[in-house]
Amino acid sequence: MQISPGVLFTIAGFPVTNTVLVTLIVDIIIVLMVFSVYKAMSLRPGRLQNAVESVMGYFYSATKDIAGDRVSFIYPWVLSFFIFIIFNNLIEFIPGFESIRFFSQHAAEGHEHGVPLFRAATSDLNLTLALAVISVIMSHFYSIKYTGIKSYIGRFFSLKMFGLFLLVGMIELISEFVKFISFSFRLFGNIFAGDIALGVTQYFFVMFAFEMFVGVIQAFVFAMLTMAFMTVLTEKSH
């Protein structure tokens, strides 16, 4: 399994990869699930409604406990990241998911047997980096919006003890850019390594269960870290 996703075909010069295809499929599944739950909502909920309400309730309570009244704008991001990532992480465990091969002019280049038609989108660094960028940028956007530009800049630079705080501010600023790397590579590395492990291990069922667990944990970690960073950056200094 190669690091880069397989190109299936191009549209107006834009390469459509197997991870892009899976991302679209996951989006459709999530939308259909939302409509299904909405149409089936009842005072006597079924299993699907119970499961959805339990997940939503947990993340709302956790966000409210940590962020307080900022739950109104942080919670939607936390829940959205969790749902999107967990679906992308777990869809690859559908039997035969990566065994279907696609043959085309683009797929044939360097792939004698074609390329997998489907591949977990979170095993593509492009997607995990995009999620990291969204998470970090929105954290800083809300920081400026809810604390003010003066308070935001003051988090990194201060006129008091200028020399010392300039150094500390530079370190803080660099740490914000490091989030792009840590967010994206943590998720990508765990999912990509799991795909490789499943392909070479003889203890398939043990690894299968373990990688499902890792997929859930990685979605949870990404969502909770987003919550923590948004909460810290929107905390008004006194």
pLDDT band per the 50, 70, 90 thresholds, residue 238: very low
Q: Which one, of 183, 234, 188, 216, lies nearest residue 75 by Cα? A: 234
- Is this prediction's pTM over 0.95? no
Percent of all residues in the chain with a pLDDT value above 90, rounded to a whole number: 36
Half-sphere exposure of 135 (CA within 13 A, CB side): 32
221 within 8 A of 186, measured Cβ to Cβ: yes
First to last CA, the chain: 52
Residues with Cβ within 8 Å of 70's Cβ and at least 6 positions away in sequence, in order, are 146, 230, 231, 234
Q: Model confidence over 192-224: pLDDT tens digits?
A: 777 776 666 655 677 778 888 888 999 999 999
Q: Is 31 exposed, middle or buried (0-12, 13-18, 19+ CB in 10 A)?
A: exposed
Q: Model confidence over 40-99: pLDDT tens digits?
A: 777 777 787 888 889 999 999 999 999 999 999 999 999 999 999 999 999 988 887 777
CA–CA distance, 154 with 90 (Å, rounded to integer) = 42
- Cα-based angle 212, 78, 124 (whole degrees, multiple of 5): 50
Mean pLDDT, the chain, whole residue set: 82
CA–CA distance, 211 with 190 (Å, rounded to integer) = 9
CB atoms within 10 A of CB 6: 24
37 within 8 A of 45, measured Cβ to Cβ: no
